[in-house]
Copies of this chain bind each other. A is one copy, B any other.
Amino acid sequence: MKLDILTKNDNRVVQNSIISQIRDLINFKNLEPGDKLPSERMLSEKFEVSRNNIREAIQKLEFYGLLKSIPQSGTFIANIGGVALNGMVDDILRLEDPDFKSLVETRILLELKTARLAALRRSEDDLIQLEEALNAYKEKVLNSEDAVEEDLLFHLAIAKAAGNSTLNTLMLMITPEIITNFEAYHVCDKSQARAGIIEHENIFEAIKEQDPKKAKEMMKVHFSVLYQYCYSKK
């Protein structure tokens, strides 16, 4: 039997199973915020999985702020009540691989915001870095070379100039997935690369002029192709 396909998602399946079991345990034992979870060893024995699996599941719940591990002491339930905890665990379990449309839609949202904020907040140093990124992009395109990277770096430079560390992080998180999917879906159109130069220049000028409205609008134009793709196709 060809079960190879399944093995790839095995880890996730196991982890989700453990997370839901931990949730059930908290509910069944009526554990409250601040209470201590059974030790990793006990859990691994109880759930019949490796301690590594338990640790990974706990780390994931810790990432979302539901648990807190303290060395040589134990793992504790964060200061969050049962209702919210159950709701968030359900959400975490329901997290699936993002579809391309979601990714694009979210990226456009983030980029419009970063463009606006960059126009409002960019420092002189930001401007220099933006111009460098822009020139690197232009040079590649004019030489008819592949400029995907330079394009990406320009957008990340905008995110940096926006002066919002959270937005910057989120951009960084979804960008690689965008790229891989982008190539897979063949949405990118090389013939539009030269049009891309003008669009990039317009965005840069708007940020330079500190015109947030124009920056957002120019970014919108830049994403119009993707935008249509995102909202037309089903």
Decide if A106 is an interface residue (CB 8 Å cutoff): yes
User: Contacts A105-B166, A106-B166, A166-B105 known; A81 to B149 CB distance under 8 Å?
Assistant: yes
Question: Copy number of this protein in the oligomer?
Answer: 2
Indicate if the CB atoms of A176 and B65 lie closer than 8 Å: yes
Q: What B residues does A14 contact at CB under 8 A?
A: none
Q: Known: A65-B179, A80-B149. Contact between A156 and B95, CB under 8 A?
A: no
A224 touches B (CB below 8 Å): no
Provide the residues of chain B in CB contact with A103, threshold 8 Å: 166
Using A136-B83, A150-B83, A156-B91 as known contacts, say yes or no to A106 and B172 having CB atoms under 8 A apart. no
The answer, yes or no, to whether A47 is at the interface (CB within 8 Å) is no
Inter-chain CA distance A91–B81, complex, in Å, is: 36
Given A64-B176, A136-B83: A106 and B170 within 8 A (CB)?
yes
What count of chain A residues pass the 8 Å CB interface test? 50
Given the known interface contacts A81-B149, A167-B106, the answer about A64 and B173 at a Cβ–Cβ threshold of 8 Å is yes
Question: Shortest CB–CB separation between residue A160 and chain B, in angstroms?
Answer: 7
| A188 adjacent to chain B (CB < 8 Å) | no
A-B pairs with the 8 shortest C-beta distances? Answer: A65-B176, A84-B149, A102-B166, A106-B166, A98-B166, A87-B153, A102-B164, A98-B165
- Is A164's CB under 8 angstroms from B84's CB? no
Q: Are B176 and A66 in contact (CB under 8 A)?
A: yes
B residues in contact with A102, CB < 8 Å: 164-167
From B94, B160, B170, B177, A170 is in contact (CB under 8 Å) with B170
